[in-house]
Structure 1
Amino acid sequence: MSYLRYVRVIGTMHVSPKSREEVIRTILNERPHAVAIELDRARFLAMNENRRLTLEESLRFGRRGLINYVLAKVEEKLGEEFGMKPGEEMKAAINTAQRLGVPLYLIDEDINLILSKILAAPGREKLLMALEALGIFLPVKSGEMADPMAEYRAMMVQFRRRYPYLYRVLVEERNEVMARNLISIVENLKLRGVKRPKVIAVVGLGHKPGIEHLLDRARGRGFLSPYWTEGVV
């Protein structure tokens, strides 16, 4: 049994206004039993507070804080170029789920665990990442991609070649966590008497193919993952 019968995965570009519109339109049209988003509780709460740490504040948390700050600045720069703040498509999913009274689930891996894994990266990958991060304030080419999925595939191939460890941590392992959580959501909905659950998952475009592959190959019943969060709205 393929869990793609029950789960529709929307792959978004975190800084694209079109992604926000697609999320709203799809949830309103599908009227799902559940909406799942690529966040954990810590990032969900931070996004709702709408506050980002300064560099000075981030440094108080050591290397983890610095890595988090750099990643946030990269997204901010892209958001300026594309005319949309990072996470707006996630906020759209949250608000639309609230409007419809649909349960919202947080399915991503805990950010503290992700940062711990990044800190354990081989020295070569950490050095290369640091050097490339120096260019985050350089101008970014704006405008819509002719074929976003093709562009993302090329970026993923390049990222995997340059950062094999980080690719495993940031892409493949998180795909596995999110796929397991989506299976858990489907199975729990069935246990509650929903004969054909309908779940919409909003994730980054780079995660969509991997999650769909895992959902399509899944055969056993789902299980409750430690990262799965229910009832946040």
Structure 2
Amino acid sequence: MIILVGTGHVFNLRSKIDQIIHEENPDVVCVELDEKRYHALLMQQRESHPRKNSSLPFIYRLLAKFQDTAAKWYGVHAGDEMLAALQSAKEMKIPVEFIDMDAQILFKEMLHSMPIKEKIRLLLSSVSSLFATKSMVEKELTKLQENYEQFLEEIGKKFPTIKNTLIDKRNVFMVERLQGLAERYSKIVAVVGDGHIPGMEKLLKSRNIEVEAIRLKDLIGNNDTGHTVTFKVTYTQP
């Protein structure tokens, strides 16, 4: 049995994640991280002014800044829910697995293969996001919840390289990691961005793997709802 837990990387979900892991008591806890991002998140948590890696693409750093700002609106740091899952697993002496692709390599490959027109659209979108308010973001999240499939379709049309790389490709990678782990563990809790849930759930079912999904809207209740397709892009020098 694989239990997919859909999160939003800017919401305060620490207590909900901890509750799920304690109630389910899985054989292993998996998170949508690679080891580099895990250590970067730890360093960011320890430092009041985390060091930024200026060698990373400008767009990469813009997206990271927006995600950090959005997280502060909810009184958290981007990625807190992943660290919460790992902390809960540690307290319960449950093994953990990082199931995502290398963020730095993947993002650079994506930009390398992205057509110039799509890069310009991404740059403009990234810059405009810096001026978004909390209410604007919440309004958009509500729209996404109402018609998530349409949202993915629009993303695919506007940013086909992003959808293929940051959503589809990662869905397949994480599902293959989970499939391998399912041969060793009977019960798995996997904490991933909520936007990955539909694709991952479909892939797992097509491989005849028992799966259950807990969505973001169920975790945050009626006050803040939405689906997120996210890729934590904050990275600091080790």
TM-score in terms of structure 1 length:
0.79
After TM superposition, give the deviation of residue 16 of structure 1 in Å. Answer: 1.3
**2:38 equivalent to 1:44:** yes
Partner of 2:59: 67
% identical equivalent positions: 28
Aligned partner (choices 52, 70, 85) of residue 93 of structure 1: 85
Post-superposition offset of 1:113: 2.5
Measured at CA, do residues 148 and 102 of structure 1 come closer, stay the same or move farther in structure 2, by a change above 3 Å? farther
Within 2, Cα distance between the matches of 1:96 and 1:154?
Answer: 35
Look up the match of 2:129.
Answer: 136
SS of corresponding position for 2:128: coil
Q: Name the CA distance, whole Å, in 2 between partners of 1:166 and 1:31.
A: 35
Counterpart mapping for 1:73-84 below 5 A: 73-84=65-76
Amino acid at match of 1:218: R
Contact 1:97–1:104 under 8 Å retained in 2: yes
**Are 2:112 and 1:110 aligned?**
no
C-alpha contact 1:153 1:206 (8 A) present in aligned 2: no
- Quick check: 1:25 aligned with 2:19? yes
Change (3 A) 1:21 1:154: farther
1:8 corresponds to which letter in structure 2? I
2:206 to 205, 211, 217: 217
- The answer to whether structure 1 residue 207 and structure 2 residue 196 are counterparts is yes
User: Which sits farther off after the overlay, 85-94 or 114-123?
Assistant: 114-123
- Residue deviations 1:41-70 (CA, integer Å, cap 9, x gap): 11011111115434xx41xx1xx3423312
Question: For residue 14 of structure 1, what is the aligned residue in structure 2?
Answer: 9
Structure with larger Rg: 1
Give the number of equivalent residue pairs.
201
Q: Would the alpha carbon gap of residues 39 and 45 (structure 1) be closer, same or farther in structure 2, given more than 3 Å must change? A: same
Unaligned 5+ residue runs, structure 1? 1-5, 190-196, 221-233
Alpha-carbon contact 2:57-2:108 (below 8 Å) kept: no
TM-score normalised by the chain length of structure 2:
0.77
Instruction: Give the aligned CA root-mean-square deviation in angstroms.
Output: 2.1
Inter-partner Cα distance in structure 2 for 1:148 and 1:167: 15
User: Residue by residue, what CA displacement relative to the aligned partner does 1:18-43 show, whole Å, maximum 9, x if unpaired?
Assistant: x3332111101000000000000110
3-state SS, counterpart of residue 183 of structure 2: helix
Which has the larger displacement, 72-81 or 99-108?
A: 72-81
Q: 1:151 to 1:69 in 2, by over 3 A?
A: farther
Determine if contact 2:59/2:126 at 8 Å carries over to the other structure.
no
Cα distance in 1 for residues equivalent to 2:70 and 2:148: 15
Q: Does the Cα contact within 8 Å between 2:59 and 2:123 map onto a contact in 1?
A: no
1:178-213 Cα shifts (integer Å, max 9, x gaps)? 000001111133xxxxxxx10000000100111111
The Cα of 1:154 is off from its aligned counterpart by: 4.7
Distance in 2 between residues matched to 1:164 and 1:53, nearest whole Å:
32
Output the CA distance in 2 between the equivalents of 1:179 and 1:114: 17
State the one-letter code of the partner of 1:38.
E
Aligned equivalent of 1:162: 158
Contact 1:77–1:136 (CA under 8 A) maintained in structure 2: no
Q: Secondary structure at the match of 1:134?
A: helix
For residues 115-194 of structure 1, the aligned pairs below 5 Å read 115-119=107-111, 120-142=113-135, 149-150=145-146, 152-189=148-185
Structure 2 stretches of 5 or more lacking a match? 210-238
Helix, strand or coil: the match of 2:191? strand
